[in-house]
Amino acid sequence: MVTALICLLFAPASSAQTADREIVRLAANLYQVRDGAQHTVFIVTADGIILADPLGTSTAGWLQAEFEKRFPDKLVRLVVVSTDLYTRIEGASLFNDTAVVVGQSKIGEAVRRAWQDLPGSLIPFDRNASHTLEPVELTSHPGAAALMARDRDGDGVLRPSEVNSSVTIVEREFERSDRLNANVTVLAPAAGAPQLSVVWFAEERIAFAAAIPGLLARPVRLNQPNATHAVAWARAVAALDFDVLITGDGQRVSHADIEALRKYLDALFADVAAGYEAGKSVDQLQRSVTLDAFAAAPFYPSRRAHIAELFDGVRIVTADLYGFASGRYVLPDSAYSAGYSLSRRPVVPVGTVGLRVSGRMLGLAGEFASGPQEMIARSSAYYDERIAVRDSRVSGLIRIGGVSTALVAGLSSTTTDARGEYIARATTGALGGRHPIASRRRGYGVTVGGEATVRISTNAAFLMTLRVTGAVSPARGVAPVRNLDVQVGAGLSIRTHRRFRTPN
């Protein structure tokens, strides 16, 4: 009685039980349902019936009657909603008493939003587009009286919350996949496109999807969903072991067709990702990425559009360890050398190690640089000084540029250690003679520079570097002040992490 009432409430005026419907057996316990142009499937198990996409309430009511007639000892235990298209899943309400509704979490959100609006079968009656129904708008609906009986507040206006009081909300949600039993798994290969969910019947070697990427449709459609979601979908579905996939509009897609799409999209993605990382533009990639091996595929003529879609969606994150040896030239400290004869090497060897994390054109790097002691001596008629100086520097840098060239800039902290002695010859007493020197000071500055990279393998590259550091707050002690130094070097960079990401 309740089922009949719900069917009456939600059935469009033109519906009839003599509609063009059929149930066809696909395997021992797996069946395909057709209602006009819409298709779905169900499987009969020892624990009950698992139904995918119950379609509208009229279809679901007919199915319920067929289940009672064909499988009198079986109840519908699970209803799988594989799409966020409400007209394909609103019939789930008829199985409230016995079944749990399963769906990807974003489908669950879509159902909750739909609960706040009129069912699709009633929208044509909302002639003033007010998202409510008034008695005058329901004069042609066979269930008008029963519908208006749901007007709980008695204000003469039927609101979505009153109409949808029996529509089931998704009760069992999942993110990527849900194994319903040993044989049946539902998965969402592209999390960003829940309407592409797939129900896989492993033993029967059959899969079902209400919707598939437009690249597989006949005729081929674009942006349904975009190519980045199609990459994730094709990879996940091609990994399943099945022979044919049945769609919500009755198409049959072979596993070989899906595997061909996967190979095409993987090859396309690899070329686009490499070009993206190298800093190439969309136009450059559309000219250079031809993929001639797939020229006969039905989706190939739209290759240029696919490249643009993938390019817009791809993101890259890399991590590199690097090291380089360099020579550092320090601008002389005129105040330190005034009046003295100065002896020092003009260029000091320095070793630098660093870690860099980068996107396509922007990255962050941390560096530590140090080298051997530098011997500095200065003397005058009455004074001799000899010190050993060692600088160590920590820098935090922003990197702007592509794979082959980049600019860097950031802040640095330089610690200067000095040890030695001086001799005061023209002074007697405690001030004369030999005296030790010990100093440790820290200064702060700004480092700018650039680097060029020549890749020698997938994960290794030859690196040429330039660093110029100017002191903002120099270390002032017994050693010469480092107001400005220039460091030029070369080394190796080793890639430790490389990940391309697409929204899916």
79, two tokens: 């209803």
CA dihedral 79, 83, 85, 87 (to 10 degrees): -30
More confident residue, 132 or 363: 363
Give start and end residues of each alpha helix (H) in 368-488.
Answer: none
pLDDT above 90 as % of the chain? 39
Query: Which pLDDT score is estimated for 11?
Result: 40
Q: Cα(387)–Cα(419) distance, rounded to whole angstroms?
A: 5
Parallel, antiparallel or unpaired: strands 252-254 and 38-45: unpaired
The chain-wide mean pLDDT, for the chain, equals 84
Q: Cα(137)–Cα(390) distance, rounded to whole angstroms?
A: 89
89, two tokens: 């899943």
More confident residue, 412 or 5: 412
| CB of 230 closer than 8 Å to CB of 269 | no
More confident residue, 400 or 147: 400
* Residue 220 scores a pLDDT above 60: no
Sign of the four-CA dihedral 263, 249, 182, 110: positive
- State how far the alpha carbon of 54 is from the alpha carbons of 89, 92, 146, 198, 320, in Å: 5, 6, 23, 15, 52
What domains does the chain contain, in order, with CATH numbers? 2-115+167-211 (3.60.15.10), 214-313 (no CATH), 316-501 (2.40.160.20)
Q: pTM of the predicted model, to two decimals?
A: 0.65
446, two tokens: 């700004």
Query: Which pLDDT score is estimated for 3?
Result: 41
Query: Which pLDDT score is estimated for 147?
Result: 74
Please write the tens of the pLDDT for every residue from 106-149. Answer: 777 766 766 677 766 678 888 888 888 888 887 777 777 777 77
283, two tokens: 């136009």
* Residue 174 scores a pLDDT above 80: no
Query: Which pLDDT score is estimated for 153?
Result: 79
Q: Cα(176)–Cα(159) distance, rounded to whole angstroms?
A: 34
Of 75-84, 188-197, 239-248, 294-303, the least confident: 188-197
* Residue 1 scores a pLDDT above 50: no
